[in-house]
């Protein structure tokens, strides 16, 4: 796996990997930024104290700090791509659990979201440097731009969805979940296709040599 760079990919694999990177980047901030505008709705609906709200908004940062040193060790064992897919699965589980109107699940889901994002935060820049060694500035700009745009978009639409459409905070989070599920599902598929293709190429290369 680690032997393969962008220049060694077949053209379809190059395109799939670029799309996969963008799709993953789209989901690294909206899960966090969408909560801020509806925090008052959460407090009133679930009768949360200011202390609980403070803990809730801090959980992703705590997860970042705990997971970031651990992720490289996990990726060395399972490859960056497989570990990234696992992180996105954890993110999806967190999104689903958090959207349920039950206080303990709200906190558990937020922790899982933080863990999933922490894994991607660590691995995505490494994947870009490893797979696109001659295009690091361009690909970094692409993924940071995608991440920032969707972070701003999620922050801007969550409150109008909750109040304007009268869906409440649950509806806002479920709407965000539905938008991200298809992106993540497509990203999973593309990452897995590329991972399998590269593994197959490594096996064939070793047999030839």
- Give yes or no for a contact between 67 and 115, defined as CB atoms under 8 angstroms apart: yes
pLDDT of residue 4: 46
Residue 198 has pLDDT above 60, yes or no: no
Say if residues 131 and 206 touch (Cβ distance below 8 Å).
no
C-alpha radius of gyration, the chain, whole number: 18
Q: How confident is the model at residue 173 (pLDDT cuts 50, 70, 90)?
A: confident
The residue ranking higher by pLDDT, 69 or 18, is: 69
Burial 156-189 (b: 16+ CB within 10 A, else e): ebbbebbeeeeebbbbbbbbbbebbeebbeebbe
Query: Cβ distance 161 to 167 under 8 Å?
Result: yes
Distance separating alpha carbons of residues 176 and 160, to the nearest angstrom: 12
Question: Taking all residues of the chain, what is their mean pLDDT, rounded to a whole number?
Answer: 79
Q: Does the model's pTM come out above 0.85?
A: no
User: Model confidence over 102-136: pLDDT tens digits?
Assistant: 889 999 999 999 999 999 899 988 888 887 888 88
* Nearest Cα residue to 187 out of 30, 21, 75: 21
As a CATH number, domain 6-208 is 1.20.1250.20
pLDDT digits (tens, 9 = 90+) for 67-85: 999 999 998 888 887 888 8
């Amino acid at each position: 796996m680690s032997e393969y760079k962008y220049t060694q990919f077949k053209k379809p694999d190059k395109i799939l990997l670029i799309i996969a990177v963008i799709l993953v980047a789209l989901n690294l901030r909206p899960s966090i930024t969408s909560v801020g505008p509806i925090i008052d709705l959460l407090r009133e609906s679930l009768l949360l104290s200011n202390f609980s709200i403070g803990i809730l908004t801090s959980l992703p940062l705590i997860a970042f700090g705990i997971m970031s040193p651990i992720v490289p060790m996990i990726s060395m064992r399972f490859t960056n791509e497989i570990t990234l897919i696992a992180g996105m699965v954890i993110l999806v589980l967190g999104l689903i659990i958090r959207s349920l109107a039950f206080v303990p699940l709200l906190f558990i889901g937020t922790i899982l979201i933080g863990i999933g994002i922490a894994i991607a935060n660590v691995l995505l820049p490494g994947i870009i440097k490893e797979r696109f060694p001659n295009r690091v500035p361009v690909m970094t700009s692409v993924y940071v731009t995608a991440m920032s745009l969707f972070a701003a978009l999620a922050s801007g639409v969550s409150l109008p969805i909750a109040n304007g459409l009268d869906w409440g905070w649950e509806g806002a989070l479920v709407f965000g979940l539905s938008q991200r599920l298809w992106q993540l599902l497509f990203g999973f598929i593309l990452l897995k296709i590329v991972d399998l293709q590269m593994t197959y190429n490594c096996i064939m290369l070793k047999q030839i040599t």
